[in-house]
Amino acid sequence: DIILKIIKISSNVSKQISNELTTGIVSKCLSSKPKLKAVSAEIFLQFIENDDKTCVIAALKNGLSAKQPKIISACVDIFTQALKNFGPLEISFKLFVEDAVKLLEHGDKSVRDTVKLLVIELFKWLKEGVKPFICDIKPLQLKELEEEFKSYISDKPKILRRIGGQKSVVGNKDTQRDEGNASVDEEADVIDPLQLIEPVDVLSKISEQFYTDVIEPKWQIRKECLDKAENILNTIKISAEGDYNTFLAPIKKIITSDANINVVVS
């Protein structure tokens, strides 16, 4: 409690102690009583608000390899709280989530459950953008998560806390100047999922063989190569970089002049 009070009023002290303290909290406090874990979580969130997020995320990520399931669950839970409060634009989530998702195979149910809650929280922000993180999990687990996602498909989570202590209007509505301005500010707290998804360079995934097969006399070969290309293009965000004219030229020709309807449909 004393540490929390100090770092709330002094960001300078916060920066001096954050690195060592976050590591110590993970190893000593997260397998303890609920009250101590709750205070520890708030200390981590306060460090993030004080712009000491790098050491927080590093400490939590290291905690994923702890031997005690209680520590692992607590690290995942705190990261989920950070994501919920500050949003994925401020919280570097990719490396942590990649490691955390592997824990869906963990032998302890509490660990698996907290990881599921993390994935659900991430879905609220990313929507379909969460799929690359869970594409390699067991089919049954994937099906269960997709069923859970249906309950949150229309959710638009808003940022609750900001780096540097600037309060979000979502959590501090009494400071809003007027209703008109409030609606604009609240919209600013809603993040477009596409902002968080890295565009895929699909052209680099199209092999040279495509340009040979797409003009093959046998229609089955033409269709097969088009189907493969469609699978490559079936991504959420395609990079705008590169010359698409070479790729599109034979496709345009197929649409206008190919005699086989199956190829044209593909």
Output the DSSP codes for 112-144. Answer: HHHHHHHHHHHHHHHGGGGHHHHTTS-HHHHHH
Classify residue 27: in a domain, yes or no.
Answer: yes
Q: Could you tell me if 40 and 80 are in contact, meaning their C-beta atoms sit under 8 angstroms apart? A: no
Q: Are 242 and 201 in contact (CB under 8 A)?
A: yes
| Res. 90: pLDDT tops 90 | no
Q: What are the tens digits of pLDDT across the range 146-171? A: 999 999 999 888 889 888 866 544 44
Instruction: Decide if 188 is inside a domain.
Output: no
How many CA within 13 A on the CB side of residue 1? 1
Q: Classify residue 158: in a domain, yes or no.
A: no
Per-residue pLDDT, averaged over 15-35, amounts to 87
Largest CA distance in the chain: 78
Q: Are residues 4 and 127 in the same domain?
A: yes
Instruction: Give the mean model confidence (pLDDT) for residues 217-245.
Output: 89
- Residue 191, domain member (yes or no): no
The reply to whether 146 and 214 lie within a common domain is: no
Which range is least confidently modeled, 71-85, 197-211, 250-264?
197-211
Residue with more model confidence, 17 or 31 = 31
Tally of domains within the chain: 2
Q: Which domain holds residue 130?
A: 1-151
pTM of the model: 0.72
Question: Among the ranges 121-135, 167-181, 208-222, which has the highest mean pLDDT value?
Answer: 208-222
Q: With bands split at pLDDT 50, 70 and 90, how would you rate the model's confidence at 18?
A: confident
- Domain of 131, CATH number, reads 1.25.10.10
**Per the domain annotation, does 156 fall within a domain?**
no
Determine which helix (DSSP H) or strand (DSSP E) holds 211, and give its type and residue range.
helix 208-213
In a domain, 235, yes or no: yes
**CB-CB contact of 63 with 71 (8 Å):** yes
Mean of pLDDT values over 21-33: 89
Checking if the pLDDT of 115 tops 90, the result is yes
The number of CA neighbours under 13 Å toward the Cβ of 141 is 20
Question: Is there a domain that residue 96 lies in?
Answer: yes
